[in-house]
A = this chain, B = another copy of it.
Amino acid sequence: SSTKSSATVSRNLNRFSTFVKSGGEAFVLGEVSGFVKDGDKLCVVLGPQGPEWQENPYPFQCSIEDPTKQTKFKGMKSYIAYKLVSSHTGQQVHRRYKHFDWLYGRLAEKFPVISVPHLPEKQATGRFEEDFISKRRKGLAWWMDHMCSHPVLAQCDAFQHFLTCPSTDEKAWKQGKRKAEKDEMVGANFFLTISVPTGPGASLDLQEVESQVDGFKAFTKKMDESALQLNHTANEFARKQVTGFKKEYQKVGHSFKCLSQAFELDQQAFSAGLNQAIAFTAEAYDAIGDLFADQPRQDLDPVMDLLALYQGHLANFPDIIHVQKGALTKVKESKRHVEEGKMELQKAEGIQERCNIISFATLAEINHFHKIRVRDFKSQMQHFLQQQILFFQKVTQKLEEALHKYDSV
């Protein structure tokens, strides 16, 4: 009967489907087995909002600072190294972009239903330009913040190796690298490491899961659209401030300057104060123009950095959802097959149990996404508004300084 059932619960015909590639199909069909060490166990627990990844009992942060140019091969090759300092070990290491890139590749392969944050974009030219380096550092800092915030990603071996292996110990680095690359708990096996809530009230309703995942799919689509639009608007708004707004305020400044120069042709004592005050006003408007041009770096750029990170996440979710949907389809199929007498109940129950694991993991990941999204967008909106307020206060201050010059006219 084992032969019979494996013939009827058909394998996915598309070898390139994420469901197949991720190992999700093999896992659901019960074709995957392996020994999972206790340390590799990943727990999904039931929180107030449903399934959640078990919190990291030792939360930490890691800063990325001081990008510095380094050379090797007697100066033949240059690269930028970033200083990483982790709060849980206090350890300081130096890593290059290519190390981040290697780590990203490992994690993306290892975790089929976890959204590994994308790295800031690669760039072929201008790698050593200050603006690019500063922008990349900020992008990597956002990436790092998300890695450390994720209970599963933050605790995984490859990441810990990356954070703690001394930069000077080439041998240890290579050892850890090899170990990560030989990690067996990858893809299909990853699902084996997930332990889910058991007992009464802990089972998931299939239809409920499906509707939640469909809801999330609609959510990501709409969020992706609005993030794209906000990104475009922020970009345009920044451009307008750097060019248009700056130009307009400085034109006003220039006109006041011309007026004060005309007035200076009248050399009478009682008009000198006015001339100076208008000249000062001209300078104030010139400075306000510069403030407008400098401002996007303070408020819009961080918003766009955050949007870039989230656009990466949103690009990850279709695959994650696909894996979960594939698993659900298998369950439905197996139920039909049981009804038709083509599959043993026990086998179908196995499929449902394993699908349950994928569902738990997926819902935990969705919940995590919402939690950090609310946290990030809250703090980013606050930061944006604070910076805008500071900006308008600076403008007001400039104008008040100018106004006071007229007191003694």
Q: Indicate whether A248 sits within 8 Å of B255 (C-beta atoms), given known contacts A271-B370, A392-B396.
A: no
Cβ A230 vs Cβ B218 within 8 A: no
Smallest CB-CB separation from A231: which chain B residue? B255
Cβ B259 vs Cβ A227 within 8 A: yes
Cα separation A266 to B266 with both chains bound (whole Å): 68
Give A186-233 interface residues, CB cut-off 8 Å to B. Answer: 215, 218-219, 222-223, 225-227, 229-230, 232-233
CB neighbours of A278 from chain B (8 A) = 377, 381
CB neighbours of A277 from chain B (8 A) = 378, 381
What is the size category of the interface that chain A forms with chain B? 35 or more
Q: Choose the segment among A21-29, A36-44, A53-61, A236-244 that binds chain B (4+ C-beta atoms closer than 8 Å).
A: A236-244
What would 7 more interface pairs be, CB under 8 Å, given A230-B259, A233-B255?
A225-B258, A230-B255, A230-B256, A233-B251, A386-B403, A389-B399, A392-B396
- Within the complex, what minimum Cβ distance (angstroms) separates A217 from chain B? 10
Smallest CB-CB separation from A230: which chain B residue? B255
Cβ A236 vs Cβ B259 within 8 A: no
Q: Indicate whether A244 sits within 8 Å of B240 (C-beta atoms), given known contacts A215-B265, A222-B265.
A: yes
Q: Indicate whether A233 sits within 8 Å of B252 (C-beta atoms), given known contacts A374-B270, A377-B274.
A: yes
- Binary flags per residue of A268-299, CB closer than 8 Å to B gives 1, else 0: 10110010011001000000000000000000
Smallest CB-CB separation from A385: which chain B residue? B403
Answer whether residue A245 sits at the interface, using C-beta atoms and an 8 A cutoff: yes
Q: Indicate whether A388 sits within 8 Å of B378 (C-beta atoms), given known contacts A222-B262, A255-B229, A266-B370.
A: no
Smallest CB-CB separation from A270: which chain B residue? B374
Answer whether residue A9 sits at the interface, using C-beta atoms and an 8 A cutoff: no
- Binary flags per residue of A349-380, CB closer than 8 Å to B gives 1, else 0: 00000000000000000000011011001100
Cα separation A377 to B277 with both chains bound (whole Å): 11
Answer whether residue A108 sits at the interface, using C-beta atoms and an 8 A cutoff: no
Cβ B381 vs Cβ A389 within 8 A: no
Cα separation A221 to B223 with both chains bound (whole Å): 60
Per CB-CB distance, the 9 closest pairs between chain A and chain B, nearest first, are A222-B262, A226-B258, A230-B255, A233-B255, A226-B262, A385-B403, A219-B265, A223-B262, A392-B396
Cβ A374 vs Cβ B226 within 8 A: no
Answer whether residue A14 sits at the interface, using C-beta atoms and an 8 A cutoff: no
What would 12 A/B residue contacts be, using CB atoms closer than 8 Å? A218-B265, A222-B265, A223-B265, A230-B258, A233-B254, A234-B255, A236-B251, A237-B251, A237-B252, A268-B370, A270-B370, A389-B403
Of the candidates B262, B373, B396, the one whose C-beta lies within 8 Å of that of A389 is B396
Most buried by B among A227, A252, A278: A252
Cα separation A67 to B248 with both chains bound (whole Å): 35
Cβ B233 vs Cβ A49 within 8 A: no
- Within the complex, what minimum Cβ distance (angstroms) separates A383 from chain B? 10
Cα separation A255 to B303 with both chains bound (whole Å): 12
Smallest CB-CB separation from A247: which chain B residue? B240
Cβ B409 vs Cβ A274 within 8 A: no
Answer whether residue A261 sits at the interface, using C-beta atoms and an 8 A cutoff: yes
Answer whether residue A104 sits at the interface, using C-beta atoms and an 8 A cutoff: no
CB neighbours of A371 from chain B (8 A) = 270
CB neighbours of A270 from chain B (8 A) = 49, 370-371, 374
Answer whether residue A100 sits at the interface, using C-beta atoms and an 8 A cutoff: no
Answer whether residue A173 sits at the interface, using C-beta atoms and an 8 A cutoff: no
Cα separation A222 to B248 with both chains bound (whole Å): 23
Cα separation A11 to B294 with both chains bound (whole Å): 66
Most buried by B among A226, A227, A386: A226
Answer whether residue A395 sits at the interface, using C-beta atoms and an 8 A cutoff: yes
Of the candidates B248, B259, B386, B389, the one whose C-beta lies within 8 Å of that of A237 is B248
- Binary flags per residue of A394-409, CB closer than 8 Å to B gives 1, else 0: 0110011011001001
Give A164-187 interface residues, CB cut-off 8 Å to B. Answer: none
Cβ A399 vs Cβ B388 within 8 A: yes
